[in-house]
Amino acid sequence: MPIIPDFPQSLLQEHMHWHHANHYDDPSQLPPGYGLNFLQFHRQFINKVYQWYNAQGLDPRLIAAWQGVPEAIRNTPCYNRQAEARVLYNPQSFGSADQLGLFLEQSNLHGCIHQEAARIYGEPYLNDFDLAPQSTLFYNIHGMIDQWYRNWERATGNARGAGSNASAGSARGRSGSRLAAGTRAKRSAVGGVSRSPGSKEPTRSAGLARLAGKAGAAGAAQEGPLRSGPSRTPAQPFISEAAGRGIRPYSKKPGAARSRKP
Ligand SMILES: [Cu+2]
């Protein structure tokens, strides 16, 4: 899948610093608060990137949230289907967003999706904290995880809670970003969503609507300024520039010098 051109260094750094500051070698040792922090950081981060990305006129479909984890990933040994089922169908079993976020890490759902998407789609960037946000797959994945978070918010009546509006400095609060869940779903379903400058939700919804019914990003890869090549599909790994560059596993410890915790 494509690498986003001219990705802003400042955004790359923001993601890198968060992970380096919040890294724990052992997922079972993640402290209370990590889960909420993880969900909130990535929500505001992807929204910020969506805003920048859309202003570039790049194809919004390429960074739309996956509507589900592609079967190719679900069928891998590291994928925890039971964990997925709980997140999707029993979100109210998580007493807090923090519990949900911790669970995504401790069940290895997040790590496995990154790792296997990198392997299956030939996108080693995804395995590297420092590079991952340059990959369109990062937004397919984290957009989907954010939907899981929203799903939890709806199920538990926390939709207007700290989680959904905590991203100071992002585009939250502008048009479209505070639509009620039902309204958003309806607009997404009809697909007739207009895009306005500075508003990322309608664009996301439009992308989601177009992608509806397609597994993963397969249908999104071939058009627009971000092309992955005429014959490439997500199932056909390709050699990217990152190959052989000493990519660090996403779920593993980043460079020692930068791994200090705050
Ligand atoms: Cu991240």
Tell me which DSSP letter residue 30 carries.
Answer: P
Q: DSSP of 99-136, one letter per residue?
A: HHHHHHHHTTHHHHHHHHHHHHTT-GGGG-TTTGGGBH
Q: How far is the CA of 228 from the centre of ligand 1 (A)?
A: 23
Question: How big is the chain by its Cα radius of gyration, in Å?
Answer: 17
Owning domain of residue 55: 9-170
Q: How far is the CA of 47 from the centre of ligand 1 (A)?
A: 13
Which of 134-138, 158-162, 194-198, 245-249 tops mean pLDDT? 134-138
pTM of the predicted protein model: 0.66
Q: How confident is the model at residue 46 (pLDDT cuts 50, 70, 90)?
A: very high
Task: Answer with the residue of higher pLDDT: 186 or 261.
Answer: 186
Q: How confident is the model at residue 211 (pLDDT cuts 50, 70, 90)?
A: very low
Q: How far is the CA of 23 from the centre of ligand 1 (A)?
A: 11
Task: Answer with the residue of higher pLDDT: 156 or 28.
Answer: 156
Q: Write down the pLDDT at residue 180.
A: 35
* 28 in a structural domain: yes
* 248 in a structural domain: no
Q: How far is the CA of 142 from the centre of ligand 1 (A)?
A: 8
Mean pLDDT is lowest, of 11-15, 22-26, 249-253, for 249-253
Average pLDDT, the chain: 72
Q: How far is the CA of 240 from the centre of ligand 1 (A)?
A: 20
Q: Write down the pLDDT at residue 183.
A: 39
Q: How far is the CA of 214 from the centre of ligand 1 (A)?
A: 25
Q: Write down the pLDDT at residue 28.
A: 86
Mean pLDDT of 37-42: 98
Task: Answer with the residue of higher pLDDT: 216 or 160.
Answer: 160
Q: How far is the CA of 15 from the centre of ligand 1 (A)?
A: 6
Q: How far is the CA of 192 from the centre of ligand 1 (A)?
A: 31
C-alpha 60/C-alpha 58 separation (Å) is 6
Assess whether pLDDT exceeds 80 at residue 19: yes
* 54 in a structural domain: yes
DSSP, collapsed to helix, strand or coil, labels residue 151 as helix
The values of phi and psi at residue 143, to 5°, are: -65, -40
Burial of residue 203 (number of CB atoms within 10 Å: 0-12, 13-18, 19+): buried
Residue 22 near residue 34 (C-beta atoms within 8 A): yes
Domain count, the chain: 1
16: Cα separation from own chain's centroid = 15
* 188 in a structural domain: no
Q: How far is the CA of 175 from the centre of ligand 1 (A)?
A: 26
pLDDT digits (tens, 9 = 90+) for 68-120: 999 999 999 999 999 999 999 999 999 999 999 999 999 999 999 999 999 99
pLDDT digits (tens, 9 = 90+) for 132-169: 999 999 999 999 999 999 999 999 999 864 444 433 33
What b/e readout covers 248-261, taking b as 16+ CB neighbours within 10 angstroms? bebbeebeeeeeee
The closest of 146, 155, 164, 126 to 243, measured between CA atoms, is 126
Residue 46 near residue 143 (C-beta atoms within 8 A): yes
Assess whether pLDDT exceeds 90 at residue 244: no
Assess whether pLDDT exceeds 50 at residue 32: yes
Q: How far is the CA of 19 from the centre of ligand 1 (A)?
A: 6
| Per-residue H/E/C for 188-227 | HHHCCCCCCCCCCHHHHHHHHHHHCCCCCCHHHCCCCCCC
C-alpha 136/C-alpha 2 separation (Å) is 6
* 197 in a structural domain: no
The closest of 80, 151, 84, 73 to 114, measured between CA atoms, is 73
Percent of the chain with pLDDT over 70: 60
Q: How far is the CA of 42 from the centre of ligand 1 (A)?
A: 6
Q: Write down the pLDDT at residue 189.
A: 32
* 40 in a structural domain: yes
| The two structure tokens encoding residue 89 | 């169908």
* 31 in a structural domain: yes
Burial of residue 51 (number of CB atoms within 10 Å: 0-12, 13-18, 19+): middle
Task: Answer with the residue of higher pLDDT: 189 or 31.
Answer: 31
Assess whether pLDDT exceeds 90 at residue 1: no
* 259 in a structural domain: no
